[in-house]
């Protein structure tokens, strides 16, 4: 299924600003039109947005993209948590507890982030399409 050519939302209000696209994606909304409740279950998104037709499965690169977003956020939070624990408990670091929490974070957080990373990646794809397109009129 091909995605509609227009990147602008169907309401005709013009282009959506990049921070708005990313915020919508991080809230599991359609990045283009802002429609909530795209997911009927936790993991798989619809083929396309019921409101604006934005495709969430454009090609195999989309799968790689949302997985990169997912693991990137997971590892950033993992490192931040580890550093926070190290800095606040040094020199008596609870290594066993830290290891258990680290395994839990790296095992469970990617599963919890799947729907968010899919919609964030859709927003990133919209932004990349804008960069590849013709320059905006002044």
Confidence bin at 6 (pLDDT 50/70/90) = very low
**Residues in a beta bridge with 48:** 55
Residue 32 CA, distance from chain mean position = 13
pLDDT tens for residues 12-55?
456 789 999 999 999 999 999 999 988 877 777 778 888 888 88
Helices (H), 90-113: 95-112
Higher pLDDT, 61 or 71: 71
**117 sits in which H/E element:** helix 114-132
Give pTM, 2 decimals: 0.77
Distances (CA, A) of 126 to 8, 17, 24, 26, 87: 10, 11, 12, 14, 39
pLDDT surpassing 80 at residue 9: no
pLDDT tens for residues 64-120?
889 999 999 999 999 999 999 999 999 999 999 999 999 999 999 999 999 999 899
Give the model's pLDDT for residue 133.
Answer: 58
Give the model's pLDDT for residue 15.
Answer: 79
Give the model's pLDDT for residue 60.
Answer: 67
Q: What DSSP string runs through 42-81?
A: SSPPPSB-TTT--BS-SSHHHHHHHHHHHHHHHHHHHHHH
């Amino acid at each position: 299924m091909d995605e509609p050519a227009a990147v602008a939302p169907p309401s005709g209000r013009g282009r959506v600003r990049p921070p708005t696209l990313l915020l919508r994606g991080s809230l599991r909304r359609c990045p283009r039109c802002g429609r909530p409740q795209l997911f009927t279950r936790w993991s798989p998104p619809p083929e396309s947005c019921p409101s604006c037709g934005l495709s969430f499965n454009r090609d195999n690169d989309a799968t790689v993209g949302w997985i990169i977003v997912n693991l990137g956020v997971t590892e950033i939070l993992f490192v931040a948590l580890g550093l926070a624990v190290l800095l606040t408990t040094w020199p008596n670091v609870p290594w066993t507890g830290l290891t258990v929490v680290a395994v839990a974070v790296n095992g469970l957080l990617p599963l919890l982030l799947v729907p968010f990373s899919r919609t964030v990646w859709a927003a990133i794809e919209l932004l990349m399409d804008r960069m590849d397109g013709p320059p905006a009129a002044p």
